[in-house]
A and B are shown apart, each in its own frame.
Chain A
């Protein structure tokens, strides 16, 4: 069994679908932040069979967790302070997401307009994201 030490302040993201942690690492832009990250892949899980876990040592105020809900709202977010779990964060789908998905509709203005951000708006009834410009729903997996 692999052991990874406790973190002092930050997040432990548990119950990540096996194989998805690397994608999370990029979407949370952890590669651009100065923080220690432990990525545990294919850990055994009673609930899921296999799962990934991410441990992130960082200031808990500075992380934007909204994107996690878009990727997988079953992820458990444990907030760590002084080495202890102080809260479990509920994930809710953000109303609008920017530059996470790319609109794949070839007829959409975002396919040609320079430097136009790819913005998707939550269709709350159906729990899907639609392109702000052409309203095409996204079928992409992150």
Chain B
């Protein structure tokens, strides 16, 4: 449908003001909110993600597209809720206890929202208990943890162990990231995924969220 393509293109160009009227127009054309979300907004973000991956566009373009996505979601969200359509899932995210660095985590949060996830951002210096409690209370599918310091990395393991202890491992998945962290470390501590940059973190969360649906 032409209007969905227009929404996707408008989003790709980062036009925050342009997306909501197009979403409303799509609604008046009788297109259901779920289709507008999947084939308009998310389709646009997928293109943006791919262009970013191959360096056709840069981070500012992605973040602007994400903002345009939020603007579209503001229109759709009440309709999706009343239609009983769930979002792509909720993600609890934070920098682990002892770590006050949150630049990378903030970027991932912005891009996750742009990809259609509901993000509960716990900020920095977050304890294992706080991560798990927030995930349980918000019915989150994924916990995303970030660390910049090698000294704070063990908190990631605490989260994984706590989920195991509470028999939540299959229901709440974990993904880790940050400069000292690696795929190997994720394997060592039993985290479900590792993202070496924002785009990869979003791709990882998508996979994990789909797996617990």
- A associates with B: no
**CB within 8 Å of A: which residues of B?**
none
**CB within 8 Å of B: which residues of A?**
none
